[in-house]
């Protein structure tokens, strides 16, 4: 884990700890424990361990339990993927690495958490295959896919080099309906050098992202650190992004894009992104507050058509805007800390924002 992220985590307190279970209530995750090595996983980076992981998960009783992953390099075929289940904890050690097997598929996922509830994924690393990908099309080669899931916690994991997103959250069909994901928590996670997004938040209700970093995304649009962008026909509602570092992405740092409501970006460091630090388009009733937003190429906060009810308060802005670098190393051009476009409504830029240049 990078030193910057470690320092930020150590310096901060938990913003919204999970509510305790009622007295006497059983844990939603069962007490059974197994180990992927007992089911044939080799962890040598050569043997395909996908089936061994699945066998370990499938061996858990209906009440669920914990699947332990000792240190090692585990080759996983994303075309098959490891399908998680409800009431389970995939507990990877700090020395665990899940290595995505090179493939040509447009859609492939190392870990797949679809139609699950009360599921935890923690520890270790997922390393994608973007530099060895065999195809040229598609943008959905994700490290972790979460779809139509409830009460999923992802923590203390590093996800990098994916053909698509580090993590993608969204909806999936349940019968004739498409159901959103609900009550998803991402904490102390690092997503770095992924091709499309560090984190996508699609059809969802109640997503919390704490103490994490989303850096150096790029390769196909929109190349955002975090993209909150539900598919047409549904919304992303009640999203909180707090105490995160979003830096060095080829697109916007954070994008709130259409059909997004009640989203808050708070206490984050948002810097060195080639797009806007934060871009809103068609979002409603959102807040951007108490962030450090600096040296983003297109501007600090870009407010595009359809944005309604946005509050921008207590942020610190420094050296944002389109500017060429001159031979003397100095930046040229005007500063664009907050840029409000046409066809927006109820945009409040509070007087307590600070501008350092």
Ranges assigned E (strand) in 211-268 = 213-215, 224-228, 236-242, 245-247, 254-257, 260-266
Per-residue pLDDT for the chain (357 aa), expressed as one digit of tens each? 444 444 444 444 334 434 333 344 557 899 999 999 999 999 999 999 999 999 999 999 999 999 999 999 999 999 999 999 999 999 999 999 999 999 999 999 999 999 999 999 999 999 999 999 999 999 999 999 999 999 999 999 999 999 999 999 999 988 889 999 999 999 999 999 999 999 999 999 999 999 999 999 999 999 999 999 999 989 999 999 999 999 999 999 999 999 999 999 999 999 999 999 999 999 999 999 999 999 999 999 999 999 999 999 999 999 999 764 445 555 555 689 999 999 999 999 999 999 997
Three-state DSSP class for residue 316: strand
325 falls within a domain: no
Question: How many CA atoms are closer than 13 Å to the CA of 291, on its beta-carbon side?
Answer: 29
66 falls within a domain: yes
pTM of the predicted structure, to 2 decimals: 0.92
For position 44, which CATH number holds?
2.160.20.10
What is the rounded CA–CA span in Å between residue 348 and residue 273?
24
322 falls within a domain: no
207 falls within a domain: yes
308 falls within a domain: no
What is the rounded CA–CA span in Å between residue 318 and residue 191?
25
| Token pair in block for residue 231 | 């598919």
110 falls within a domain: yes
Show the domain range for 76: 3-10+33-274
241 falls within a domain: yes
307 falls within a domain: no
Give the DSSP per-residue string, 152-204. Answer: EEEES-EEE--SSEEEEEE-EEETTEEEPEEEEEEES-EEES-SSEEEEE-SE
Q: How many domains does the chain have?
A: 1
| Token pair in block for residue 271 | 């810097």
Question: CA dihedral defined by 227, 228, 231, 235, rounded to 10 degrees?
Answer: 180
- In terms of residues, how long is the chain? 357
Three-state DSSP class for residue 57: helix
């Amino acid at each position: 884990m990078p030193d910057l992220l470690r320092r930020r985590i150590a310096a901060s307190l938990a913003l919204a700890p999970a509510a305790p279970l009622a007295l006497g209530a059983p844990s939603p995750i069962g007490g059974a424990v197994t180990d992927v090595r007992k089911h044939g996983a080799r962890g040598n980076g050569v043997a395909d361990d996908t089936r061994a992981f699945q066998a370990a998960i499938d061996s858990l009783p209906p009440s669920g339990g914990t699947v332990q992953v000792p240190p090692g390099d585990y080759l996983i075929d994303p075309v098959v993927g490891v399908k998680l289940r409800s009431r389970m904890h995939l507990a990877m050690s700090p020395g665990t690495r899940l290595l995505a097997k090179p493939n040509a598929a447009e859609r492939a996922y190392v870990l797949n958490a679809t139609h699950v509830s009360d599921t935890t994924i923690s520890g270790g690393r997922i390393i994608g295959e973007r530099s060895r990908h065999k195809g040229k099309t598609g943008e959905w080669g994700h490290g972790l896919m979460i779809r139509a899931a409830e009460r999923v916690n992802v923590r203390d994991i590093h996800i990098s080099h994916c053909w698509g997103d580090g993590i993608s959250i969204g909806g999936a069909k349940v019968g004739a309906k498409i159901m959103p994901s609900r009550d998803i928590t991402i904490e102390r996670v690092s997503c770095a050098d992924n091709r499309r997004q560090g984190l996508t938040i699609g059809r969802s209700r109640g997503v919390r992202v704490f103490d994490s970093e989303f850096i150096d995304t790029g390769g196909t649009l929109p190349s955002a650190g975090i993209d909150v962008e539900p598919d047409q026909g549904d919304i992303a509602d009640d999203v909180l992004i707090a105490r995160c570092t979003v830096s060095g992405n080829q697109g916007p740092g954070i994008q709130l894009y259409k059909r997004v409501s009640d989203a808050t970006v708070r206490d984050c460091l948002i810097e060195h992104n080639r797009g806007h630090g934060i871009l809103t388009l068609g979002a409603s009733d959102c807040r951007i507050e108490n962030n450090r937003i600096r040296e983003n190429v297109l501007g600090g906060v870009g407010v595009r058509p359809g944005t309604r009810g946005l509050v921008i308060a207590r942020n610190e802005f420094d050296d944002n805007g389109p500017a060429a670098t001159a031979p003397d190393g100095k930046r040229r051009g005007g500063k664009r800390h907050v840029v409000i476009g046409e066809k927006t409504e109820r945009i409040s830029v509070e007087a307590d924002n600070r501008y350092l240049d």
